[in-house]
Amino acid sequence: MSELVIRDLHVKVEDQEILKGVSLTVRQGEIHALMGPNGSGKSTLAYTLMGHPAYEVTEGEVWFKGQNILELEPDERARMGLFLAFQYPVAIPGVTLANFLRMALNARLQGDGSGNRDGNDHKKTISIPEFRKLLKEKLALLEMDPSFARRYLNEGFSGGEKKRAEILQMAVLQPEIAILDETDSGLDIDALRIVANGVNALTGPDLGVLIITHYQRILNYIKPHFVHVMLNGRIVESGGPELALTLEEKGYDWVREKHAA
Ligand SMILES: Nc1ncnc2c1ncn2[C@@H]1O[C@H](COP(=O)(O)OP(=O)(O)OP(=O)(O)O)[C@@H](O)[C@H]1O
Ligand SMILES: [Mg+2]
């Protein structure tokens, strides 16, 4: 079983300490929700886990599948089965979504050099017909029009379309641990249901999810086992799904009072 273990993580951005000792473990098969006020450090945690160079780890450890990943490049982490759906996906003009996904999947199938998911490190690639079939299936899962795949990645996509494209990526790459950074923001009511159902179809014993969100609403669809609250660079509260309901009802004032610095 794969697990992502974060221990006492401290992270600096432009000489300012943003994460001040975060500890969290996400195992395959578990769904964790991470909530917290704007600017509390949720995306910083997501970027740091994925290896964004602007985020400097000054203290602490991150282990994934028994390996310390802090020295690894983002693509190496991705090949191991770690995935991040961005809060603000970027456009790549000139690269179609389909080509991007096929290249990403082929890279993922090559494994991390230490043996891939079936324990062998044989170099696999997916054939074009096989890939087309897979893509078609995943587009249908997310109720996306097949013409999407022929468009340039995120170029001119609406906010909601970008979020769906992120989940499509996750569906194609089949990560072991996925971090979803505000995948629900900007989605209309129908799109929220479709994306949530898509995520649900992917969850199960093989996938661990850390879902960053401001709203309890998406948690009605994607039922978390654990809910955490980040405040000022620390996880200050952890509980079950009821914690999200409490936050929805009472806001963050009580959390701020309880954990006043
Ligand atoms: N690349 C960066 N350069 C400068 N400051 C940064 C950078 N990344 C994060 N920060 C700062 O770190 C703090 C935490 O930001 P972060 O994006 O992690 O918050 P968040 O919890 O994801 O907020 P939101 O709910 O609004 O998405 C903010 O004060 C932000 O300005
Ligand atoms: Mg954020």
Ligand 1 centroid to Cα of residue 53, in Å, is 14
Ligand 1 centroid to Cα of residue 187, in Å, is 22
Ligand 1 centroid to Cα of residue 19, in Å, is 10
pLDDT tens string 199-237: 999 999 999 999 999 999 999 999 999 999 999 999 999
> Residue 113 contacts by C-beta under 8 Å, 6 or more apart in sequence?
121
**How far apart are the two ends of the chain, measured CA to CA in Å?**
37
Ligand 1 pocket check for 89: Cβ under 6 Å = no
Looking at the predicted structure, is the pLDDT value of residue 88 above 80?
yes
Ligand 2 centroid to Cα of residue 35, in Å, is 10
Joined together, the tokens standing for residue 46 give: 């997501």
CB 42 within 8 A of CB 50: no
Alpha carbons within 13 A on the beta-carbon side of 137: 10
Residue 115, pLDDT score: 46
> What pTM value is reported for the model?
0.93
Of the candidate ranges 7-16, 33-42, 124-133, the one whose mean pLDDT is the lowest: 124-133
Q: Are strands 3-13 and 55-64 parallel, antiparallel or unpaired?
A: antiparallel
Host domain of residue 100: 3-258
Helix (H) or strand (E) holding 230: strand 226-231
Q: Position of tokens 């936050």?
A: 247
Look at residues 42, 3, 2, 57 and name the one whose alpha carbon lies nearest to residue 227: 42
Ligand 1 pocket check for 13: Cβ under 6 Å = yes
pLDDT tens string 126-159: 999 999 999 999 999 998 999 999 999 999 998 8
Ligand 1 pocket check for 42: Cβ under 6 Å = yes
Q: For all residues of the chain together, what is the average pLDDT?
A: 92
Residue 114, pLDDT score: 52
Number of domains making up the chain: 1
Looking at the predicted structure, is the pLDDT value of residue 112 above 70?
no
Task: Say which CATH number the domain at 90 has.
Answer: 3.40.50.300
pLDDT band with cut points at 50, 70 and 90 for residue 36: very high
* Average pLDDT over every residue of 238-250: 96
Residue 260, pLDDT score: 84
Taking the CA of residue 214 as reference, the ligand 1 atom at the shortest distance is 25
Looking at the predicted structure, is the pLDDT value of residue 7 above 90?
yes
Name beta bridge partners: 12.
Answer: 17, 56
CA distance 36 to 211: 12
Name beta bridge partners: 153.
Answer: 92
Residue 184, pLDDT score: 92
pLDDT tens string 46-75: 999 999 999 999 999 999 999 999 999 999
CA distance 239 to 228: 6
Q: What percent of the chain has pLDDT over 70?
A: 95
Strand order in the sheet with 82-85: 82-85, 177-181, 208-212, 31-35, 226-231, 234-239
pLDDT band with cut points at 50, 70 and 90 for residue 116: very low
Joined together, the tokens standing for residue 180 give: 């979803």
